A and B are shown apart, each in its own frame.
Chain A
Amino acid sequence: MKNELFMPEGLKTANPRRQFLKMSGLTVAGAGLLLMGCDDEDRMPMMSGKVSLGSGDTGILNYAYALEQLEAAFYAQVMMGSFFANASAEEKIIFGDLEKHERAHREFFKVALGASAIADLEVDFSSIDFSSRNSVLAAAKTFEDLGVAAYNGAGQFLESADLLLIAGKIVSVEARHAAAIRDLINPNSVDFAGDDLIDVNGLERTLNFQQVLTAASTYVKTEIDFSQLPS
């Protein structure tokens, strides 16, 4: 996202968010947030928030929900950018599909969690250039590979067999995405299941909660408390 696309909107003098930030004495942080592209006024109350994922299977579901929120927000942003507008027919189909898949995952987790669902996360895609094919594909690769490793690492902590199956139904789709994105980056190569992810036993890497959320934190402004997750 190009900052300038959002600065004029964010810098309107009558902007209630800005007044709020001023009143809270958060002008410095506020300036950063305004540059970040908070295009949705409705989310304002959660901006400087912190969410707790909770414990047990609910906590794991919220963990998945957080990642799906991140992915869905990313692809929604991709589809508004100039890379997508000028993308090849194949790329348009792939990114169009990924946007729908991740939005479907996000909405499913939200309704499945009900009152236990964490609030909407405030994302920060300022490090991604949505006009650049390389930048968008690199970010998509990061998100998809991270999603696979996260689900693979979290599966063992689920108590419910039904939830484990649902996670399994989703993780293989994330892996299909990851392979396709990697193939867009380096067509017809072996990168779709590269040695950077798959070890000598043919096992894909797993990441634990801390590793995943640390990697995700580049793109998430909201503080995520995962201290109650099973460990």
Chain B
Amino acid sequence: MNLIKLLDSICPDTNTPEEKDRFYSRRDAFRQFGDFSKKVALGAVPLSILTALPKVAKADTASLIGVLNYALTLEHLEYRYYQMGLDSGVIMASERPIFQKIRDHELAHVKFLTEVIANVLNGTPVTEPKFDFTVGGAFAPFSDYPTFLALAQAFEDTGVRAYKGQAANVMESDVVLTAALSIHSVEARHASMVRRLRTKKGLDTQKGWVTNASIGSLPAATQAIYAGEENVSHAGVNVVNLTGIDAGAVSEAWDEPLSMNEVLGIAGLFLSTN
């Protein structure tokens, strides 16, 4: 992957000249640091970048790296889950392409985030944790297809809430924010598909969107994933009162964020203790 080319393609040509300058100077600085780490001669790095960058960009990049490593952890989890599901043979043959596609996206997210953290932000990407998707033997996702689908829904809906919760924390960088939003909507597409697939198979009555804080037929342990989704007020406006539309439908029309701690509490269930 050519990261610089990628960033050029992400960087919208609608930015102001000032923003563009800032973007390109930082991008170039990142590139130089990237080269630097690849043992390019020190003399090749312009002095101006070495003196100018740390003040502005280093503090920024530390927090960006933190958020992206958090996202990367979740992507590792999702990718490994689908890969193990595909390897196990638990997935119905006619539905394998759906999960191969989702697996491909999660793997692409792992690679993309790893690349951005390492070669654009010059940080250290987290390595893949060891997962236990049975949660100590409580679940059998790789031998029971309904369980596989239930956890897939749980992970996708969690992913949507996790990215949403970090949008404000990466908004200092147009590039990172736009990339995060572009992953966020892909996770939402996955979530919608898996939710509806479960319902089409008679496993649940959930729709593609989240009604109130309903877990449907998911295990009770998933309640934290949906807590707060019943919210119908935004920017101080109670949309039920405003429109007369029922609270269930209004709750569906806005997805809610989760904080990093809340998500890690959920994801932590699936980390191996060994």
A interface residue numbers (CB < 8 A to B): 93-94, 97, 100-105, 107-108, 111-112, 148, 151-153, 155-156, 158, 161-166, 168-180, 183, 188-190, 192-193, 198, 200-206, 208-210, 230-231
Complex contact B192–A175 (CB within 8 A): yes
Decide: A231 and B235 in contact? CB cutoff 8 A. no
Contact B245 A93 (CB under 8 A): no
Closest CB in chain B relative to A73 CB, distance in Å: 15
Docked complex Cα distance between A175 and B210 (Å):
13
Contacts of B39 in A (CB 8 A): none
In the bound complex, do residue A169 and residue B105 qualify as a contact, i.e. CB atoms below 8 Å apart?
A: no
Please determine whether B94 and A172 come into contact, CB atoms closer than 8 angstroms.
Answer: no
B127 is an interface residue with CB less than 8 A from chain A: no
Q: Is the pair B14, A202 in contact by a Cβ cutoff of 8 Å?
A: no
How far, in Å, is A147 (CB) from chain B's closest CB?
A: 10
Q: List 12 A-B contacts (CB under 8 A).
A: A94-B207, A108-B234, A155-B171, A156-B12, A168-B184, A169-B255, A171-B181, A171-B184, A172-B164, A173-B254, A179-B192, A203-B183
Q: Contacts A166-B234, A201-B6 given: A101-B253 contact, CB under 8 Å?
A: yes
- B209 in contact with A176 (CB, 8 Å): yes
CA distance A209 to B13 in the complex (A): 11
Main secondary structure of the interface of B (DSSP, over half): helix
| Chain A residue nearest in CB terms to B243 | A107
- Closest CB in chain A relative to B236 CB, distance in Å: 9
A165 to chain B: which residues have CB within 8 Å? 164, 167-168, 257
Q: Which residues of A contact B183 (CB under 8 A)?
A: 202-204
Tell me whether chain A's interface is mostly helix, strand or loop, or mixed.
Answer: helix
Contacts of B100 in A (CB 8 A): 190
The yes or no answer to B4 lying at the interface (CB within 8 A) is no
Contact residues, B187-244 vs A (CB, 8 A):
187-193, 196-197, 207-209, 234-235, 237, 239, 242-243
Question: A112 to chain B: which residues have CB within 8 Å?
Answer: 235, 237
> A203 CA to B115 CA in the complex, in Å?
14
Residues of B contacting A202 in the complex (Cβ-Cβ under 8 angstroms)? 104-109, 112, 183, 186
In the bound complex, CA of A176 to CA of B164 (Å): 14
- Is B83 in the interface zone, CB < 8 Å from A? no
Known: A155-B167, A169-B164, A202-B108. A107 touches B239 (CB 8 A): yes
CB-CB under 8 A from B25, the residues of chain A are none
Task: Please state if A189 and B181 are interface contacts (CB–CB under 8 Å).
Answer: no
Q: Is B160 close to A, CB under 8 A?
A: yes
* In the complex, chain A residues whose CB is within 8 Å of the CB of B143: none
Q: Is the CB of A161 within 8 A of B174?
A: no
**Chain A residues with CB under 8 A of B239:** 104, 107-108
Say yes or no for B111: interface residue by CB 8 A criterion.
Answer: yes
Contact with A along B5-16 (1 / 0, CB 8 A): 010000011111
Determine if A107 and B242 form an interchain contact, defined as CB atoms under 8 angstroms apart.
yes
**Can you list, as one digit per residue, whether each of B233-274 has a CB less than 8 Å from chain A (1) or not (0)?**
011010100110110011011111100000000000000000
Is A203 in contact with B186, judged by CB distance below 8 angstroms?
A: yes
> Which residue of A has the minimal Cβ distance to B234?
A166
Chain B residue with the shortest CB-CB distance to A211: B14
- Check if B63 is an interface residue, CB within 8 A of chain A: no
Give the residues in chain B near A178, CB-CB below 8 Å.
189, 192
